[in-house]
Amino acid sequence: MIYLDNAATTRVFECAADAAQKAMLDGFYNPNTTYKLGVSAKSALEKSRRIIADCIGASPDEIVFTSCATESNNWAIENGRKSKKGNVVISAGEHSSVYETAISLKNRGVDVRIAPLTKSGTVDESAFLDLVDENTTLVSCIHVSNETGVINPIKRLAASVKSKSPRALFHCDGVQALLKTSERLDALGVDFYSASAHKLGAPKGIGFLYIRRGVTIAPLMFGGGQEKGLRSGTQNTPYVAAFAAAAERFKQISDHANVDRIRDELVKYFTKSGCKIIGDGENSGYILCVCVPNVKAEILQNIASEHGVIIGKGAACSGSKRGNRVLSAMGVKAEDIEHCIRISLFADTKLEDALQAAHVIMETARQIRSGNVG
C-alpha cells in the first residue's frame, strides 16, 4: 500500500507509540498531584513541552495543550478577540474550524470580514489589508492551505496588519505547516498559532494553541486550573509524550528539499498526463491538488485504494460535503472541483513510491474513462 493522504492524518511513529505506552503504563500518575510520582509525571509533561517548543521555535510557556487543532482554532477565534466590539478579518482559505467559528460570530452580530484568495491559492494580501482597520480586533490567516499546500506569507502579513492596526491580534492555523516549512514560529510575529500532532506522526487527539508571551486570552475551560488556568482538564500525558517524540523524529528525518523534489516530479508527471495542478503559489511541498479531467475524484479515490494507493479528495473534514469552499474561492470551476484529488506526502515518502502511485492513479483514471473498472 502507498499511503499519500498524510494531510488527513499520518501513521504514528513507533517512537511516539512507545512514548505514549510508557507514559500510560509506567508514568500514568496525575501530573497535578503533589506526591513524588505525580511530580515526576509533571516533569515528564514539562519536558515534552520543552522538546516541542525547541523543535518549533517557541518558548515552553507559550504552548497550551488542547485536544486538537479544531479546539485550538475555535478557542482563538471565539476568545482571542481583545474586545467584544470591533471587527474580525479572516481569509477565504481557512479550514472549516476557523471559518465556521467566524461565521458563528457573524451570526451573533460580529462584523466578520472575509478576504478573497488569488487564483494561485494565496490570500489576496492587499484585499486582506484593506479589510483591516483601527477597529480590527482579530485576524486569522491559514499558514499552509490544507487543500493545495500553498504557503501564505504570514510573517509579512502579520507585520502589515500590526502596522495598520496595532491592537489587532493575529491568529494563524499552522496545522499543515508545523515542521513542514523552515520558518521558526517565534519569527512569524503572530499572537496565536494552532497545531495538531496527528499530521506529524503522533496520535489523533492532541494539539496546542501557541499564545505569544504577553498576549492574553480568556480561558477555554474552567475547572482545576491546569495549563495555567487557560484550559482546565487533566492533561493527556501519554499523547503529549507521543507528540514530543514525533516532533523530534519528524524534524530529524524531514528533508524539505527532497519533499520539494518529489512534488516537482509529481507535478511534471501529472501535467504531462493532461492534468491541471491547482494552486501554483509557493508550496510547502507536502500537498498537491490535481484536477484529473473527466474523472470524478470520489470514484478515482475509491478505485485507486483498491489498487493499493490511498489519496485524498479535498480536505478529509469536508469530504462528506459537496463542493469545496476553498477551491471555489480560488476561482476553480465547479466541474473541475469534482475532479480534484489531493496527494499529500510525509517526511519519509520515497520518490519511487510517489511516482508509482501517480502511475496507478492515471491508469485507474484511464480505466474509469473507458468504463473498464472493477
Catalytic (active-site) positions? 317
Between 97 and 136, CB nearer to ligand PLP: 97
113-121, 168-176, 228-236, 288-296 -> range binding ligand PLP (CB under 6 A): 168-176
Among 42, 49, 95, 171, binds ligand PLP (CB under 6 A): 95
On whether the CB atoms of residues 201 and 16 are closer than 8 A, the answer is: yes
Residues numbered 243-302 forming contacts with ligand PLP, rule: CB under 6 A: none
Between 100 and 133, CB nearer to ligand PLP: 100
Between 68 and 288, CB nearer to ligand PLP: 68
Instruction: Say how far apart CA 371 and CA 317 lie, in whole Å.
Output: 30
* Nearest CA-CA partner of 294 in 318, 274, 316, 321: 274
Q: How many residues bind ligand PLP (CB under 6 A)?
A: 15
CA distances 250 to 15, 197, 368, Å, are 11, 11, 37
Helix (H) or strand (E) holding 65: strand 63-66
CB atoms within 10 A of CB 321: 11
Is residue 97 a contact point for ligand PLP (CB under 6 A)? Answer: yes
42-50, 68-76, 246-254, 302-310 -> range binding ligand PLP (CB under 6 A): 68-76
Among 118, 122, 196, 344, binds ligand PLP (CB under 6 A): 196
CB atoms within 10 A of CB 43: 12
10 Å CB burial of residue 209 (0-12, 13-18, 19+) is: buried
Is residue 146 a contact point for ligand PLP (CB under 6 A)? Answer: yes
**Residue for grid cell 498526463:** 273
Among 86, 207, 238, 312, binds ligand PLP (CB under 6 A): 207
Is residue 317 a contact point for ligand PLP (CB under 6 A)? Answer: yes
Is residue 312 a contact point for ligand PLP (CB under 6 A)? Answer: no
Q: Could you give phi then psi for residue 351, rounded to 5 degrees? A: -55, -45
Where does the chain have alpha helices with state H?
Answer: 14-25, 36-56, 69-79, 96-107, 125-131, 154-164, 237-253, 256-272, 297-306, 325-329, 334-337, 351-369
**Nearest distance from residue 195's CB to ligand PLP, in Å?**
8
Among 165, 176, 237, 349, binds ligand PLP (CB under 6 A): 176
Instruction: Say how far apart CA 127 and CA 106 lie, in whole Å.
Output: 19
Among 5, 173, 191, 227, binds ligand PLP (CB under 6 A): 173
Residues numbered 3-62 forming contacts with ligand PLP, rule: CB under 6 A: none
Positive or negative torsion for Cα 192, 58, 283, 253:
negative
Between 27 and 203, CB nearer to ligand PLP: 203
Between 137 and 196, CB nearer to ligand PLP: 196
21-29, 67-75, 254-262, 324-332 -> range binding ligand PLP (CB under 6 A): 67-75
* Nearest CA-CA partner of 87 in 130, 143, 144: 130
Residues that bind ligand PLP (CB under 6 A): 68-70, 73, 95, 97, 142, 146, 173, 175-176, 196, 207, 315, 317
